[in-house]
Copies of this chain bind each other. A is one copy, B any other.
């Protein structure tokens, strides 16, 4: 097994920690933010740009790639790394969250989830075995077990049923998973109920996966609830395994997640808001599309060292966005990914230098929500 997690440092005041994740396509320094490349591309960017930004691993979506262009084609191409020309680590989700998000288009059964494609309405059936078959074909370094995600709020009975099914599906995923060069992570569910998270953590960790994720957060709950769930859930996850908080990437969520012991994050937020003309800064968000920036010749963030801020003005970027020019979307996407990746890197250093809480305090001094 080429997969290994090394815990390098733990913060003495909080749950924050620093580690290294060894994968077949390279070493990942944790904590880490993973840009999302849903359809085998991180929207607007090239693999080389991602590497320059310091991206260590990207996430891609099993549901989307299964529907288009199809996992068999990607397998024929030599796997997702080759297909998309990204030679560093990749994580694929299981499609659990994606099919859950389809709402009326899907029916959950004990064996799996029946759903209709959001592209052409065609009928499909995801079982744990099918999902593993697809993820094996895609060939990511880290793959996720098929889970049942519940919304917020969600009644207790349903949350319990879903977490128990998630456990049964996790077992089936483990049995179906064959490739030794891919690490299969289990997912803890249980909604916002402490005893259910405890039950799920116990059941899932008993299956001994090389890493564990917390699913079912960032699904509409207030952030205080998210932090609360993290507070009582991460201590139930083995210290010596990586901990991944799925679908979370707002800067303050990342700071708080790391403080509560999370090692890995992914989120479409930075690239999605970038394409809407909103950029992240340490002083909160800046809507560069706004008319107020039409003649502003300063960079998006004067303290930022990214390609965008080193070479272009707010006025130029706003012009591109107003004129529907793609290069504008590239520039804001680069800036936002740089911001999050650099933020996580700074946090990592602060943990290593025993000053994580000071860093957090400084962060909140200027931070306006995004």
**A interface residues, Cβ below 8 angstroms from B:** 39-41, 43-46, 64, 68-69, 73, 76-77, 83-85, 294-295, 297, 311-313, 315-316, 318-320, 322-323, 325-330
Contact = CB atoms under 8 A, between A and B. Distances in A.
A69 B312 contact: no
Contact of A85 (B73, B312, B318): B312
Contact of A84 (B43, B316, B318): B316
B77 A46 contact: no
Closest 4 CB pairs of A and B: A69-B319, A41-B327, A44-B326, A85-B311
Contact of A39 (B64, B85, B294, B320): B320
B39 A316 contact: no
A83 B295 CA distance: 12
Given A39-B323, A294-B69, A297-B77, A316 B83 contact: yes
A301 B39 CA distance: 24
6 contacts: A39-B320, A41-B325, A46-B327, A73-B315, A85-B312, A326-B329
Contacts of A311: 85
A291 to B, nearest CB: 12
A84 B323 CA distance: 14
B297 A41 contact: no
Nearest to A67: B323
A295 B85 CA distance: 17
Contact of A76 (B84, B297, B328): B297
B45 A327 contact: yes
Contacts of A323: 39, 64, 68
A43 B325 contact: yes
B39 A325 contact: yes
Contacts of A318: 69
A327 B44 contact: yes
A137 to B, nearest CB: 14
A49 to B, nearest CB: 9
Nearest to A312: B85
A349 to B, nearest CB: 29
Contacts of A83: 313, 315-316
A326 B326 contact: yes
A318 B77 CA distance: 14
A224 B125 CA distance: 59
A317 to B, nearest CB: 11
A263 B46 CA distance: 34
A12 to B, nearest CB: 44
Contacts of A315: 69, 73, 77, 83
Given A39-B320, A69-B294, 10 more contacts: A39-B319, A41-B327, A43-B326, A44-B327, A69-B316, A69-B319, A73-B295, A83-B316, A85-B311, A326-B326
